[in-house]
Amino acid sequence: MELLAVSVDPPEVSKRLRDHLQVRFTFLSDPDGALLDEMGIRHRGGRADGADIAFPTSVLVDDTGTVRWLFQSDTYRERARPEQIFAAIGSL
C-alpha cells in the first residue's frame, strides 16, 4: 500500500511541508494541474492569490489501477474519516 499526497506545489514547497509534518510518504507535484484536469478536480482561482489548486479529493486505487473508493466534500475543512479509509483499504 502506498500513500501519495498530490498538490500543485513545486517540489521544494512539498519538501518543506513534508519535513514540517515529519511524515515519510511521497508528495507529488502537479504544478500544471495535468493530473487534476484528468481527474476533473482543478479548482480555478482557488488559492488566495488566484492560482489554480486541487479540490481536496482522496482516491483509493487497487493493483490493477482501478479506482475503488473516492472521497470528496463540498467544504475544504472536511476530510475523510480514518475508519472510512481503513474500511476501503480492507475491502481491496
Partner 1 sequence: MLWASLFLVLAAVAWFVRSATAVSPELLFGYEQLIHARIPWLLLGTLWLGAALGLLSLRQGRRWFHYPVLGVELLLVGGLSFYMLAGSFLPESELRVAVGDSFPGYALVDQDGRSHSLEAGEPRKPALYVFYRGDW
Restricting to residues 13-42, name those near partner 1 by CB under 8 A.
Answer: 13-18, 20-22, 26-30, 34-36, 38-41
- Please choose, from the candidates 2, 72, 76, the residue with its C-alpha nearest in 3D space to the C-alpha of residue 84: 72
Burial 50-69 (b: 16+ CB within 10 A, else e): eebbbebeeebeeeeeeeeb
In the list 68, 87, 90, 91, the residue contacting partner 1 (rule: CB under 8 A) is: 68
Phi, psi angle pair for 61, to nearest 5°: -120, 135
- What minimum distance in Å lies between the beta carbon of 55 and partner 1? 4
Contacts with partner 1, residue ranges (CB under 8 A): 1-9, 11-18, 20-22, 26-30, 34-36, 38-41, 43, 46-49, 53-70, 72-79, 81, 85, 89, 92
